[in-house]
Amino acid sequence: MSTATTMVRPQETAATPAIEVRNLRRTFRIKGGLLGKDREVVAVDDVSFSVPTGGVLGVVGESGCGKSTLARVILNLLPPTSGEVLVEGRRLSALDRRARARLIQPIFQDPFSSLNPRRRIKDIVAMPLVAQGNIPARQVNDRVAEMLTRVGLSAEQGERFPAQLSGGQRQRVAIARALVLRPRIVICDEPTSALDVSVQAQILNLLAELRRELNLTYLFISHNLAVVEHVASEVAVMYLGRIVERAEADALFRAPRHPYTRALLASVLTPEPGLGVPDVGLGDTLPDPANIPPGCRFHPRCPVAEPRCAVQVPQAVATTDGAAECLLLEGAAQP
């Protein structure tokens, strides 16, 4: 693979992950707790992972589990309370906004609300290039034209406004805008949830094609397990702000180790696009990030909980293809 001409960037080695998240934590203070006291909500709780170049880490969990907050903290749209994010060995917090934009870009769920309705498509796609401030207009036009072609839009569609395109076409615009700077990492936050089922597969195929062509690395956040199974090489399962299981996608779908992962996989996914809450078959006790249970945070809903689960905090146990946080796995022989 490697040749004498292969470039190694500063701070980057063959083993450097495309993205590395270290002990990321994000808390919020909310008013109106008991006796009017402020309460702390832990939305992202000591999350660490890395993704190799070209990999796709799927992040799954119920609504409110912290996956979208995680995306926003990684993108620096919300500053972390603690922890750090590195892209190809570079600390994102040490870079300015333009440099960050060249490394990492988001694609969000609702393309309609994220596209300025008063701008033409070609100008929307050009915005990240223009914001860099040093790219000649001719080069901007060429790169916009190239990106529109790559995502399957015509030059004529580039002259239109968002309201004149379909939902799927608008998501193609959002993808073109995210990729026009040739970032290394793309954070896809429910990128197909707002689309008709018939269009979802086209967008997923386009994202897969672009990843291969442009050697991109994705963090793919979704409540839809079928989508994640289709796109991810590795999966992280979030529950109340923590990654409770992480494994190679094949292994996770074939043999989930954590009781919550098992419940998710056994769940009936909602047919309502955008509703985002799978019926996990665990009753109505929705997780409350302002009131994280002691011991194992999943114990009030866990179908196989033992008395010790209410007091003992499970540690991550290495499994064949990843890790899981469950007391039942501690000390047990791993297959």
Interaction of residue 128 with ligand SF4, rule CB under 6 A: no
Give the binding range for ligand SF4 (CB under 6 A) out of 84-92, 135-143, 171-179, 299-307: 299-307
**Taking CB under 6 A as the rule, which mask of x and - marks residues 227-266 in contact with ligand SF4?**
--------------------------------x-------
- Comparison of 207 and 244: residue with beta carbon closer to ligand SF4: 244
Asked if 87 contacts 93 with a C-beta cutoff of 8 angstroms, the reply is: no
Interaction of residue 207 with ligand SF4, rule CB under 6 A: no
Helices and strands per DSSP (H, E), number in the chain: 11, 12
Separation between Cα atoms, residue 112 and residue 94, nearest integer Å: 32
CB of 316 to ligand SF4, least distance (A): 12
Interaction of residue 317 with ligand SF4, rule CB under 6 A: no
- Comparison of 20 and 46: residue with beta carbon closer to ligand SF4: 46
Interaction of residue 327 with ligand SF4, rule CB under 6 A: yes
State how far Cα 302 lies from the chain centre. Answer: 25
Interaction of residue 331 with ligand SF4, rule CB under 6 A: no
Angle at 215 between CA 213 and CA 220, to 5 degrees: 105
Separation between Cα atoms, residue 170 and residue 31, nearest integer Å: 38
Separation between Cα atoms, residue 308 and residue 112, nearest integer Å: 48
Identify the residue among 309, 316, 317, 323 touching ligand SF4 (CB under 6 A). Answer: 309
Identify the residue among 6, 304, 307, 335 touching ligand SF4 (CB under 6 A). Answer: 304
Separation between Cα atoms, residue 144 and residue 127, nearest integer Å: 10
CB of 70 to ligand SF4, least distance (A): 21
The secondary structure element, H or E, covering residue 85 is strand 82-87
Contacts of 73 (CB under 8 A, 6+ apart): 24, 26, 44, 79, 80, 85
Identify the residue among 232, 302, 316, 317 touching ligand SF4 (CB under 6 A). Answer: 302
Residue whose C-alpha is closest to residue 310's, from 324, 323, 298:
298
Identify the residue among 42, 296, 316, 317 touching ligand SF4 (CB under 6 A). Answer: 296
Asked if 135 contacts 187 with a C-beta cutoff of 8 angstroms, the reply is: no
| Contact residues: ligand SF4, CB under 6 A | 259, 296, 298-299, 302, 304-306, 309, 314, 326-328
